[in-house]
Chains A and B, each alone.
Chain A
């Protein structure tokens, strides 16, 4: 015999029920046939011989009913009725199936059915949207890759590589005429021109030397100074051709160093009287030059 009250007395409060989940304020029931999910006298499927629930399986809702006549046959205890897909029709079916049942069960079943259809609709909407796929990262792999990246960065020597590439491009002339540095590819051609220019320069220097040996001090314009000073430099012709003078100063300094080793003798005559105005522009040059011509007496040489 089914004594619901006795059962409830035992599992409800006195003894243990394995479906019961106790929290601070409420008790829940984990039984899958429970309609409300709470642990009550009216909601407990074990303590009621006549019970009804709605459950869903793979998107379809079913009405489950349990009556006391089948209490002795556990395998056949729950009667399963498929509910229609249409919401209103399903509600009517619930009403038809639970026609003489207490109002409580009808109400609770319809409530549960409503909730289930709502969440099914939400699932369908979400699956149509973008699914975010979580890809697990293996810690070992990440660590290894990080280390390899660091090593690759060291091996890459990025700054050097970039600088090299830029200089290559400059050499190949991709920048056109923006920068007026003499290009190395023209060096050989320029060396030939150097010989010519040196011979020219010697003639010029001789002339100038004669003029200034007369004791006349003349203040020579910038252009002239450059020309005569540069006469012994390599790439003089290039610099003459280019109109930009800004780039020249660095090159001149560079080239004066080179040129000092080159042809000391040729300048001896011409340069000394020009020391005055030139000194302000290139004192560095002057010092070296004086060493070559007058090593002992001049104090400035040191």
Chain B
């Protein structure tokens, strides 16, 4: 067998000058852990050396060619390598346009209804959640915070409908920190359940501006590309009134990146036509969609349009659903 760990054994599977043939040797056949470890380190070093040589060679070629060198390859990112989702919406798709014209939000998008949001929490909210709800109410115009006194959601919903609310938002709390949100579009609209994380309240923000004013903010929705993403995006858009007050210069952003939706609230100012300055006011948080249900909130008999199933959906790191 191998005489010692310090020998450069020709049985390494490398194509470097030192070794001879590609063997059928594999590290797992060495029973001794120390020797196996040493062989593995050697293997790694060989590989690293080869990689370095390759890079040097390529760099030399590139320098030699000078200006005529082919352009550098685009580096691979997760967004580049994303597995193509067949429900990605094509902008000119008529079927999607038709669906969106007749879905539950069409009333809002046809300017028939004005949004009116009811914000509440789970039972017995603690200080952080209460403050979060208050700040949300300042960010979303026409929002009201109500204390949940142990009422069942199924009873609240008909009352909200009768008082012309369009949205019900329930912030769920765990260990004194908000960690979930149920967003329910009221006249029998879809219900989305999100996981809330990284909540930053206003006084924890660095370099923040003054409190938001009563002007209606603009809405930015980024990267909602699939059908599911579209419906969620429309859900967020319908939270805010139609006519943003540009005078107020406030903007609420929902940015989707790798299935995480980041919410930010800024005040912007145009310094000139090429530069804009933004200053963050308002709370920030991230959402991750857990489930989308067709009707209003009904955990037992509801019809789920989409549920996050971890074992099926999280199997690939390049596959995203929103």
Interface residue ranges, A against B (CB under 8 Å): 129-130, 132, 141, 145-146, 148-149, 151-153, 155-156, 158-159, 161-163, 165-167, 169-171, 175-176, 178-179, 181-184, 250-251, 254
Contact = CB atoms under 8 A, between A and B. Distances in A.
Interface in B224-274: 246-247, 251, 253, 255, 257-260, 262, 264, 266, 268, 270-274
Residue with the greatest number of chain B CB neighbours at <10 A, chosen from A148, A151, A250? A148
B133 to A, nearest CB: 20
Contact of B276 (A145, A148, A166): A166
3 tightest CB-CB pairs across the interface, nearest first?
Answer: A181-B273, A156-B257, A152-B258
Contacts of B310: 141
Contacts of B266: 162
B253 A158 contact: yes
A152 B274 contact: no
A130 B152 contact: yes
B138 interface: no
A254 B271 CA distance: 12
B273 A156 contact: no
B288 interface: yes
B276 A167 contact: yes
Interface of B: 77-79, 123, 150, 152, 197-198, 218, 220, 222, 246-247, 251, 253, 255, 257-260, 262, 264, 266, 268, 270-274, 276, 278, 286, 288, 310
A251 B272 contact: yes
Residue with the greatest number of chain B CB neighbours at <10 A, chosen from A149, A163, A169, A254? A149
B247 A178 contact: yes
A158 B273 contact: no
Contacts of A184: 273
A153 B262 contact: yes
A158 B286 CA distance: 12
A297 B237 CA distance: 65
Contacts of A151: 258
A181 B272 CA distance: 7
A194 B168 CA distance: 56
B246 A170 contact: no
Given A166-B251, A251-B272, A159 B278 contact: yes
Contact of A179 (B218, B251, B253, B270): B270
B243 to A, nearest CB: 12
Residue with the greatest number of chain B CB neighbours at <10 A, chosen from A146, A158, A182? A158
Contacts of A149: 197-198, 260, 286, 288
Contacts of B197: 145-146, 149
Contact of B220 (A129, A156, A162, A181): A162
Nearest to A132: B123
A250 B273 CA distance: 11
Contacts of B258: 148, 151-152, 155
A130 B172 CA distance: 15
B270 A162 contact: no
A153 B123 CA distance: 31
23 contacts: A141-B310, A152-B257, A155-B257, A155-B258, A161-B253, A162-B251, A165-B253, A166-B251, A166-B268, A166-B278, A167-B273, A167-B276, A170-B270, A170-B276, A171-B273, A175-B246, A176-B246, A179-B270, A179-B273, A181-B270, A184-B273, A250-B272, A254-B272
